[in-house]
Structure 1
Amino acid sequence: MSEQLLVTPLHALHTEVGAKMVPFAGYDMPVQYKLGVKKEHLHCRAAAGLFDVSHMGQLRLIGDNAAAFMESLVPVDIIDLPAGKQRYAFFTNEQGGINDDLMVTNFGDHLFVVVNAACKEQDIAHLQSNLPEDVALQIIEDRALLALQGPKAAVVLAKLNPEVANMVFMDAIKCQLAGAECYVSRSGYTGEDGYEISVPADAAEALARELLADDAVEWVGLGARDSLRLECGLCLYGHDLDPTTTPVEASLLWGISPSRRADGKRAAGFPGSELILEQIKTKQVSRKRIGLIGLSKAPVREGTKLFDAQDNEIGIVTSGTYGPSIAKPVAMAYVNIEFAVLETEIFAEVRGKKLAMIVSKMPFVAQSYFRG
Structure 2
Amino acid sequence: MGTNDNLKSLPLEDLHKAANARFGGFAGWSMPITYPLGVMKEHLHTREKAGLFDISHMQLFDVTGPGASTLLSRACPLDADSLQTGQSKYTFFLNEQAGILDDLIITRLGDDHFMVVANAGNAVSDEAHLREVAKGFDCKIDALDRVFLAIQGPQAADVLRKGGIAGTELAFMHGFEPKPGWFMSRSGYTGEDGFEIGLPADEARKLVAKLFADERVAWVGLAARDSLRLEAGLCLHGHDITPEIDPVDAGLTWTIAKPVREKAGFIGAKALLAKIAKGPGRKRVGLKPDSRQPVRSDSILVDTNGNTVGVVTSGGFGPSAGYPVAMGYVGKDFAPIGTQVFADVRGTRIALHVHSLPFTPHRYHKG
Contact map agreement 1:9 1:205 (CA 8 A) in 2: no
One-letter code aligned to 1:77: D
Q: Which residue of 2 aligns with 1:50?
A: 52
Deviations 1:152-202 (A, max 9, x none): 0000011233642321101112225xxx86321110000000000011111
Q: What letter corresponds to residue 324 of structure 2 in structure 1? A: P
Displacement of 1:52: 0.3
Q: What SS class does the counterpart of residue 8 from structure 2 fall into? A: coil
For 2:140, which of 117, 136, 150 is the aligned residue?
A: 136
1:156 match: 159
Q: CA deviation at 1:4?
A: 2.5
Amino acid across the alignment from 2:341 = I
Q: Does residue 355 of the first structure (1) align with residue 359 of the second (2)?
A: no
Determine the C-alpha separation between the residues in 2 that align with 1:346 and 1:333.
Answer: 11
Name the residue aligned to 2:91: 89
Distance 2:149 2:165 in 1: 18
Q: How does 1:180-191 map to 2 (within 5 A)?
A: 182-191=182-191
1:1-372 to 2 correspondence within 5 Å? 1-108=3-110, 109-131=112-134, 132-141=136-145, 143-161=146-164, 163-175=166-178, 182-261=182-261, 264=262, 267-283=263-279, 285-372=280-367
The C-alpha deviation readout for 1:197-222, integer Å capped at 9, x for no partner, is 01111111221121122111100000
Q: Partners in 2 of 1:77 and 1:215 — Cα distance? A: 42
SS of aligned partner of 1:316: strand
For 1:348 and 1:2, locate their aligned partners in 2 and report how far apart those are by CA, in whole Å.
33
Cα contact 2:71–2:137 (8 A) shared by 1: no
What is the TM-score normalised by the length of structure 2?
0.96
Using the alignment, how far apart are the partners of 1:5 and 1:282 within structure 2? 43
Instruction: Quote the offset at 1:337 in angstroms.
Output: 1.7
Provide the rounded CA distance (Å) in 2 between the counterparts of 1:316 and 1:59. 33
Fraction of identical pairs, as percent:
46
Deviation >3 Å, runs of 4+: none
C-alpha distance in structure 2 between counterparts of 1:53 and 1:338, whole Å: 38
Taking the aligned partners of 1:83 and 1:37, their CA distance within structure 2 comes to 37
Question: How many angstroms apart in 2 are the aligned matches of 1:144 and 1:110?
Answer: 20
Structure-1-length-normalised TM-score: 0.95
Name the SS of the counterpart of 1:42 in structure 2. helix
Distance in 2 of aligned mates of 1:190 and 1:203: 25
Q: Structure 1: how far apart are the matches of 2:157 and 2:323?
A: 29
Deviations along 1:309-352, one digit per CA (max 9) or x if unpaired, are 12211111000001000111111111112111111111111232
2:121 alignment partner, SS class: helix
Partner Cα separation in structure 2 for residue 223 and residue 36 of structure 1: 9
- Preserved CA contact (<8 Å) 1:60 1:137: yes
The amino acid across from 2:323 in the alignment is K
Q: CA deviation at 1:286?
A: 2.0
Q: Decide whether aligned partners of structure 1 residues 19 and 122 sit closer, same or farther in structure 2, where only a CA change above 3 A counts.
A: same
Determine if contact 1:9/1:202 at 8 Å carries over to the other structure.
no
Local SS of the residue matching 2:245: coil
Cα distance per residue 1:280-312 (max 9 Å; x no partner): 2232x3211111111100000001111111221
Q: Kindly indicate whether the alpha-carbon contact (under 8 Å) linking 2:292 and 2:324 is maintained by their aligned counterparts in 1.
A: yes
CA deviation digits over 1:125-148, x for unaligned, max 9? 00111213511111112x210000
Measured in 2, the distance between the counterparts of 1:110 and 1:247 equals: 26
Q: What displacement does 1:235 show? A: 0.1
SS in 2 for 1:164: coil
- In the aligned structure 1, how far is the partner of 2:333 from the partner of 2:271? 21
What is the CA deviation profile of residues 23-69 of structure 1, one whole-angstrom value per residue up to 9, with x for unaligned ones?
11111110000101111000000000000000111111111120111
Kept after mapping to 1: 8 A contact 2:67/2:137: no
- 5+ residue gaps, structure 2: none
Q: Distance in 1 between matches of 2:215 and 2:87?
A: 31
AA aligned to 1:20 is: R
Q: By how many angstroms is 1:111 displaced? A: 0.6
